[in-house]
Structure 1
Amino acid sequence: MSAEPATGTSTVAEPAVVRVGSWLVGPLLGAAVLFVVKLVSDWVAGLSWAPFQGVFVLVADIPEPWGLTASLAVGAVIGLGFAGLWSQERISAEVAPDRLVLARDRTERTFRRGEVGAVFVEGKELVLLDESGAELVRQRTGLDRRELAAALRRHGFPWHGGDPHRARYRPWEPDEPELGLRINALFAERARALRRRDRKEAARLRAELAERGVVVRDERKQQRWRWAELG
């Protein structure tokens, strides 16, 4: 006999040391990179073939001690910006017997237990499927997989170690006859976005394909697909 789901809620978030540390490590790394740029600027400025030589000439021409001070300050600001972008990608999960709430960058999405058919982590992405096999959400996450799995199982959510429909995917080929002209065009456009490493555009096109009942996964730089409907 299966155990009853736990009562109350469980919250899963990145460790405090990671959340706080990113705001410290980012500026330090940025300052370190610009410090190295300043150290080698005189040498690189003398190389006629070096790329971005104008930048190194500009850095080399800044008189000391202002050159080093400016490099450290600019590097720290750049690192702080990257830390801010990282924080926007960070999510937390609140799990209760009747719902799963995903919070990211001051926004929340709530999924009722009855609408969730499967939950799993694929690479660095958290994926929720509905009962038909369609994707409800695909979100990059740094959450501890074991802690997340334990919380979901504790409250009766269908956690899986991987995509339960993986065997149903097939490689996308140009002009796939089963997909039709418009869906093939979206796949071709997404293939170009993947080659450009345009993650945002690839995600947008994935969502547009999902609206047409097609679920996509990327495997070894190849797009694979399946229909959302089970059966």
Structure 2
Amino acid sequence: MAADPATTTVAEHRLVRHGSWLICPLLGALLLWLLRLVAAWVSGLPWAPFQGVFELAASVPDPWGTVGAIAIGAIIGLGFAGLMAQERLTVSVAPERLTLTVGRSARHVERAEIGSVFVDGKHFVVLDETGGELARQPSDLDKAALRRAFADHGYPWRDKDPFAARYSLWVEDTPELSLRLNALMSARDRALRKRDGKEAALLRTELAERGILVRDEKKRQYWRATS
């Protein structure tokens, strides 16, 4: 719930936000406890990988071996919960501006700059009037809740990308793109095939800075130029 009554905040459900700090450590502790149980058996298999790790785990006597495995698993789980918290998106909609908060960083977009707002697959997207991308963030937020928040404040919410018809399938050496842009698209295609999401995201950002927006459908790239 937002402190300012004029602001509507959309975030993941409280059970998800707070529950991850409990569930992740429990799952981590359970996993390491199970590995501790099978460590002696696995260390006796000549074909099993990481023999040294399992031999070490099996060599620690109980109760300290079990207690240590549970503690380490819980700590690893807390680390995962922290990573999830740093990537979690919160959207705050006020009459004059939009605020996107991810972890401890916040980004503001003025209402006057916004031409359309929508959800594209697993991403929350904000465009300007010309179709330029103001923001694009991975999001698991409820689409209906987002729609209500933006409609209540008079923002131009769209149920789909209003510029979707302008995208074209990218192929090698697309004549409408420069040599440099085709090289970036080609590099991003390779990153997608290798399932390197971080590299693909970086290349997408570089393309957007050069006026080319990219969307992915069934492992194929579609592009459009911004004004």
TM range (shorter): over 0.9
SS for the counterpart of 2:195 is coil
* Aligned counterparts of 1:51 and 1:176: Cα–Cα separation in 2: 46
Counterpart in 1 of 2:132? 134
Distance in 2 between residues matched to 1:53 and 1:157, nearest whole Å: 58
Query: Which of 115, 118, 128 is 1:117 aligned to?
Result: 115
SS of residue in 1 equivalent to 2:26: helix
Greater than 3 Å deviation, 4+ residue runs: none
Tell me what 2:106 maps to: 108
Structure 2 SS opposite 1:111: strand
Q: Structure 1 residue 47: deviation in Å?
A: 1.4
Q: Pairwise mapping of residues 49-198 of structure 1 onto structure 2 (< 5 A)?
A: 49-198=47-196
Residue in structure 2 matched with residue 206 of structure 1 by the alignment: 204
CA distance in 2, matches of 1:122, 1:12: 17
| Equivalenced residues, count | 223
Relative contact order higher in (CA < 8 Å, ≥ 6 apart): 1
Give the corresponding residue for 1:45. Answer: 43
Two-structure CA RMSD over aligned residues (Å): 1.5
5+ long unaligned stretches in structure 2: none
Amino acid at match of 1:206: R
Q: Could you state the TM-score of these two structures normalised by the residue count of structure 1?
A: 0.91
Q: Sequence identity of aligned pairs in percent? A: 57
CA distance in structure 1 between the aligned counterparts of 2:169 and 2:35, rounded to whole angstroms:
44
Mapped to 2, the partners of 1:12 and 1:103 lie a distance apart of 11
Range with bigger deviation, 180-189 or 53-62: 53-62
1:74 corresponds to which letter in structure 2?
A: I
What SS class does the counterpart of residue 49 from structure 2 fall into?
Answer: coil
Query: Is this contact kept in 2: 1:26–1:82, CA < 8 A?
Result: yes
Unaligned runs of 5+ in 1: 1-6
Cα distance in structure 1, aligned partners of 2:49 and 2:157: 49
Counterpart secondary structure, 1:218: strand
Distance in 1 separating the partners of 2:41 and 2:120: 45
State the Cα distance separating 1:51 from its structure 2 match.
Answer: 2.2
1:215·1:227 contact (CA, 8 Å) conserved in 2? Answer: yes
Look up the equivalent residue of 1:8 and give its one-letter code.
Answer: A
Deviations 1:51-74 (A, max 9, x none): 222222221122111111111111
Give the conservation status (yes or no) of the 8 Å contact 1:89–1:141.
Answer: no
TM-score, normalised on structure 2?
Answer: 0.93
What is the deviation of 1:8?
2.0
